[in-house]
Structure 1
Amino acid sequence: MPEEVNGNYDYVILGCGALGTAIVKDLISSGKKILAVDVNPEKVEVLKDEEIDAIAGDIESDEVLNKIDFKKVTGVLILTSKDETNRIVAERVRKENGEVLIVSRASNLKSKEELEEAGVDLVITPIESMKSTLVGGLKKAESLRKLKKLRSVIQETDGKLGIFTHDNPDPDSISSALALREIAKHFGVEADILYYGEIQHQQNKAMVNLLGIPMIRAGEADLSSYSKFAIVDSSGPGINNSIPGDLEIAIVIDHHPAENVEAEFVDLRNDVGATATILALYLQDLKIVPTKTLATSLFFGIESETEGFRKNARTNDFLASAYLYPFVDRELLEKMEGPALSTETLDVLATAIKNREIYSSFLLSFAGFINDRDTLPQAADFLLRLEGINTVLVFGVMKDAVYLSARNADVRINIGEVLKNAFKDVGGAGGHAHAAGGKIPLGIFGDVSDKETLAKLVTQAIRKRFLNAIGIEIEEKP
């Protein structure tokens, strides 16, 4: 006769072969109260010797199952190697408690279907378990292989490493560079963060100033003092950056699509929404505990690049953010998330609102002659909120170029491809499905000094190319 069962349990394990025993021990180590049941008295005695509550008996027997109050347990795991036994027991347990979590083992897909019909919530098959283990193992092995190569490339640096961001770096690029700098330090190599352009966007300024991130203007640096160079959030010289074309890049880490990228170490991924995610996962795999500054920087980089995890956020972005969050300085994060708008940003926004042109759900606007190109994406973000608008293109003239910024909420459109196709023969443009940008030299408009005339020429050209690219034909006004 089976032993008496005393007390309430989190989980009841029915069938304690190799799989059941391993799960019993894992659940106990995580603080769960467990009752194990197995037909083999010797296995039960071994469990008892380890101070695990266990009873011996046939789990198909009412005499055994009646000893257990299934209404008071969180879950029941039925793990014998006999499919028919598992089905019979599952039906009995489900009849007694319609809410309890039931997990069962099955040897094949047919038995899996029968168990699911019997009310089992989760059915585990050896093939699926092996596949899951194999896929997880492959991903882990691939990650460790990449990190081994990265370590080798960094440690072979005979001097300092220069880490480039893209021009006018954003939080994703800045935080990724900061993380790579910390990884280089971990491997015994000194590194500097280099950038071209300006840090003018209010959030970017707030991030650098509040976190005290050391950044060097590349145009003022002696590039010959660096032994090797890396680039983050861009895939090579000239791609959204002003890095000299003849400069050899040893390390490339980016989340944007690219082809024919050559370097000693290349990590281009399409399963993440931010480059900062890649670097955060590096830290986790390398067991480098991030400082508050680094964790806050990377978290903000992922958050801003995915627009608060609403756009292009993938599973890895959430996993990386969950890893970082315990180390984040919440007060600093809040300050970076909502810095005040500058007077110039408000002026550009006002101009963009005034000059807006709407074609169905598409809006385009000339934002005028600007001093800060980062005001354009802020204006585009704002205009995308207008009722009935799904796609926005804002453009402005700064110095010797026209800068473009686009935002898109229409799932049928890839705005990065639209800009690329519209302006590839006159400048550089591209990006993601939901956000994109570009730059067109003013030289293509000829020698025009009158601002009003130039504004008309620029607007006409941008309008025609953009609308043609999205399939809208209009008759230009004389």
Structure 2
Amino acid sequence: MPDSLPNGSSDKVKYLILGCGSIGYNVVEELAHDSDEIIIIDSDEKRVEDLRDQNYEAIVRDIQKNDFLESLPAPEVVFVLSSDKNANLEAVKTVKDIYPSAYVIARAVDRLSLSFLEQAGADITLYPQEVFAKSAVHHIRKLHSSRLARKLYRFLSESEGIMGIFLHANPDPDAISSAMGLCAIAKSASGGKLECRIVYDGKIGHQENRAFVTLLDIEMVKYSEEVINECDYFALVDSPGPGINNSVPDNIHVNIIVDHHMPPDNEQAVPAEFVDIRPNAGATASIITQYIQELGISIDQKVATALIYGIRADTRDFSRNTTPQDLNYAAYLLPLTDGDLLSKITSPSMSPETLEGFGNAIRNRKVQSGYLFTNVGYVRNRDIIPQAADLMIQLEGINTAIAYGIGEEFITISARNKDIRLHVGNVLKEAFSDIGEAGGHSTMAAARIPLNSFSLVKNKEELLALVIEPILERFADLVEINKKEPNEI
């Protein structure tokens, strides 16, 4: 019975494989590309002989016995991969007792074994069935997204004329950069036969957003009926359908929709030729970047810089609603970007109106049971309101921050949330969707309530004070805040 190494060994070895069935053998083949410092232990004599015939160092030993490591060199990494759960558990205990600094990757035969192996000291525990399931889901998602990219490319390749790419009202960098990316794809697919126009409505008020548009010299046109009439094709980015926080008429046939927001419950599916809505994506710019990567399209520094900033802005520098895919696409874009330009965009000057809005938010803040409510007042630049919410959520003891303000046409409410028990987007939708537009993600959301009924009121500040209390009471009822007066802080 071969129970020792035939060729001798040094004091240390990189990999030690315990159990070399089908899983163990596949691991050995992968590791062999990296190093030839591999020792295999298995209780099956015939298997060991076969491994030796393939020039692997292998010995016959029982990994349940306390002395199975005797005379072996110290391993850096140990894979415990037998099909016997008791043997794997005993082996992990023995390895960690003798070589506490060694990394141990252990196979769990069932879900119950996962916790036992972790308690025994395994650094990584793997349940093969679960690994297979996750891998299968990952591959099917990748296949689906690849097919979507090709479907979009085919549609654009067969199109010529003018395509209007419409952004949501008061567009942010995610929407603008997504439109730029879609333009790049359209140019490549159509061979230049399809001309793109990025169309926006409202204002670009946030100082970073203005710096973004100015420094990248992004060409956009203001929404008008003339622009609508000139377009042969219509696309929406960062918006789930016509009329949903955008000026596109309901009777317009939209050809392309790419977004990461779930459409309102009362909205029917839009019959577009191409629709890709992924609520789990951190940014629409991530989806557009995936198309570019899948299709192998070359983009210039301007587009790459815009897309990476769009992803960063919508995920708040990868700190909210971020998926591993968002990080992967940012890593893909990073070598293509203009780093100096990106730094300038993220360090803009602050306008006096923004500073005054922050002052109002600080003075007017009220807190109740971890919920902060603050009145930003009358604003010409509605982007100040979400910026105020971003500022307030950083206060100690605050789990949810609600900032609200009033403009010429709307009351705007912006929410930020750190409470994992609360999906603030769903709460805002339930509270306000019957009187305006509302929705968002679990950590960030917004609502917009039109002032049609109050158009004759001249003093906007007084109007806000008049209508906001019953409006916010809906939110308070839904999150079951204790019925007591908020304390000012």
For Structure 1 versus Structure 2, the TM-score category normalised by the shorter chain is 0.7 to 0.9
1:261 — aligned with what? 269
Runs of 5+ in structure 2 lacking a partner?
Answer: 42-46
- Residue 199 (structure 1) aligned with residue 204 (structure 2): yes
Letter in 2 for 1:299: I
2:320 — aligned with what? 311
After TM superposition, list the pairs within 5 Å mapping 1:125-204 onto structure 2: 125-188=127-190, 190=194, 191-204=196-209
Letter in 1 for 2:28: V
- In the TM superposition, residue 347 of structure 1 has moved relative to its aligned partner by 3.4
3-state DSSP of counterpart to 1:74: strand
1:229 — aligned with what? 234
1:467 aligns with one of 460, 466, 473: 473
1:391 aligns with one of 390, 398, 401: 401
Compared with structure 1, are the counterparts of its residues 32 and 304 closer, same or farther at alpha carbon in structure 2 (3 Å cutoff)?
Answer: farther
- Residue 271 (structure 1) aligned with residue 277 (structure 2): no
Identity in percent: 34
- Residue 402 (structure 1) aligned with residue 410 (structure 2): yes
Q: Compute the RMSD of aligned alpha carbons.
A: 3.5
Compared with structure 1, are the counterparts of its residues 383 and 81 closer, same or farther at alpha carbon in structure 2 (3 Å cutoff)?
Answer: closer
Does structure 1 retain, via aligned residues, the 8 Å contact 2:411–2:451? no
Letter in 1 for 2:38: L
1:58 — aligned with what? 60
After TM superposition, list the pairs within 5 Å mapping 1:55-454 onto structure 2: 55-60=57-62, 65-70=69-74, 73-80=75-82, 89-105=91-107, 119-188=121-190, 190=194, 191-219=196-224, 222-258=227-263, 259=265, 260-262=268-270, 263-288=272-297, 291-353=300-362, 356=364, 358=366, 360=368, 361-368=371-378, 370-385=379-394, 390-398=400-408, 401-409=409-417, 411=419, 413-449=422-458, 451=459, 454=460
Whole-Å separation in 1 of the counterparts to 2:254 and 2:27 = 48
Whole-Å separation in 2 of the counterparts to 1:84 and 1:434 = 44
Compared with structure 1, are the counterparts of its residues 82 and 350 closer, same or farther at alpha carbon in structure 2 (3 Å cutoff)?
Answer: closer
Whole-Å separation in 2 of the counterparts to 1:349 and 1:117 = 50
1:51 — aligned with what? none
- In the TM superposition, residue 275 of structure 1 has moved relative to its aligned partner by 1.8
Q: Deviations over 1:171-219 (max 9, x none)?
A: 1111222222222233236333222222232111111222333323232
3-state DSSP of counterpart to 1:273: coil
Compared with structure 1, are the counterparts of its residues 256 and 40 closer, same or farther at alpha carbon in structure 2 (3 Å cutoff)?
Answer: same
Letter in 2 for 1:164: F
1:23 aligns with one of 2, 27, 39: 27
Runs of 5+ in structure 1 lacking a partner?
Answer: 49-53
Compared with structure 1, are the counterparts of its residues 434 and 80 closer, same or farther at alpha carbon in structure 2 (3 Å cutoff)?
Answer: closer
Letter in 2 for 1:314: T
Letter in 2 for 1:26: E
Whole-Å separation in 2 of the counterparts to 1:65 and 1:357 = 65
Q: Deviations over 1:366-396 (max 9, x none)?
A: 522x432223322343344456654232212
Does structure 2 retain, via aligned residues, the 8 Å contact 1:157–1:227? no
Compared with structure 1, are the counterparts of its residues 379 and 93 closer, same or farther at alpha carbon in structure 2 (3 Å cutoff)?
Answer: closer
Compared with structure 1, are the counterparts of its residues 110 and 290 closer, same or farther at alpha carbon in structure 2 (3 Å cutoff)?
Answer: same
2:15 — aligned with what? 11
3-state DSSP of counterpart to 1:222: helix
- In the TM superposition, residue 459 of structure 1 has moved relative to its aligned partner by 1.9
- Residue 457 (structure 1) aligned with residue 453 (structure 2): no
Does structure 2 retain, via aligned residues, the 8 Å contact 1:59–1:89? no
Aligned pair count reads 459
- In the TM superposition, residue 232 of structure 1 has moved relative to its aligned partner by 1.1
Whole-Å separation in 2 of the counterparts to 1:183 and 1:24 = 43
Whole-Å separation in 2 of the counterparts to 1:463 and 1:35 = 70
